[in-house]
Amino acid sequence: MPRIALVDDDRNILTSVSLALEAEGYAVQTYTDGASGLEGLSQNEPDLAILDIKMPRMDGMELLRRLRQKSNLPVIFLTSKDEEIDELFGLKMGADDFIKKPFSQRLLVERVKAILRRAQAQLRDSASAPVAANGSGMVEIGSTSKGNILERGALVMDEERHTCTWKGKHVTLTVTEFLILQSLAHRPGVVKSRNALMDAAYDDQVYVDDRTIDSHIKRLRKKFKLVDDSFEMIETLYGVGYRFKEQ
């Protein structure tokens, strides 16, 4: 039974979301502030955490920052704040998704299912990666598997390690952003419609609208511009979709 941690100072949300998740077969552990959430998640790490941003004692951003020091736990943020900078900062720190209040519990449950499926798939892929010894006798995972590393000029994406670099600089991507960029970079110059990118990044059971894909593309561009202000590799073809520029 997958375990979900829910950290929010709104007891109504704790109750209603817990009931919705438990109805889907998840075990739910709840915390009413960031400090107690950090302690509980450190002692008993769940499979996924849902964090409110604005909380007493420790906000969700600080809680995520501390979690990321020792864990790759999937995280969904709940937020009533509208400032884009908060969302961008949270995604840069490693949040997997943002859901703004008020929200549909059905939507939240489907996002939880999708992120857990992707996380489990990545674990399976990593576990089945080939193991090779390097010249020093140390063991490296996946070092001989060229098929799982995508190189497009200055872009390097390692699917098994879920890492991305541009001009040798690390770019932190969420699972969804990684899948969208991977779909675009797989065939440079080929236009991908929003529907095609939805299929690449989301399971069939999850509905997202066009604006969600546009938001992910916007965040991708901003993240790459943080490491290279001249980054212009993701092109928009208005009314059609997006493409990764040919080099």
Per-residue pLDDT tens, the chain, 247 aa: give them. Answer: 899 999 999 999 999 999 999 999 999 999 999 999 999 999 999 999 999 988 888 988 899 889 888 888 889 988 875 555 566 666 666 788 888 888 888 888 888 988 888 777 666 655 554 443 344 333 333 333 345 788 999 999 988 777 899 999 999 887 788 889 999 999 899 999 988 888 787 755 455 566 778 888 998 999 999 999 999 999 999 888 999 998 7
Domain spanning 143-244: which CATH class is it, in words? Answer: mainly alpha
C-beta neighbour count of 177 within 10 angstroms: 20
**Rounded CA gap, 214 and 197, in Å?**
10
What are φ and ψ of residue 55, in 5° steps? -140, 155
- Strand 3-7 versus strand 48-52 pairing type: parallel
C-beta neighbour count of 72 within 10 angstroms: 11
**Helical pair 194-201 and 175-186, crossing angle rounded to 10 deg:** 130
Domain ranges of the chain: 3-124, 143-244
CA nearest to 60, candidates 104, 105, 13, 20:
13
| pTM to 2 decimal places | 0.56
Q: Which helix (H) or strand (E) holds 79?
A: strand 75-79
Which CATH number applies to 3-124: 3.40.50.300, 2.40.440.10, 3.30.70.260, 3.40.50.2300? 3.40.50.2300
**Rounded CA gap, 137 and 124, in Å?**
25
Query: Which two tokens mark 245?
Result: 């520029």
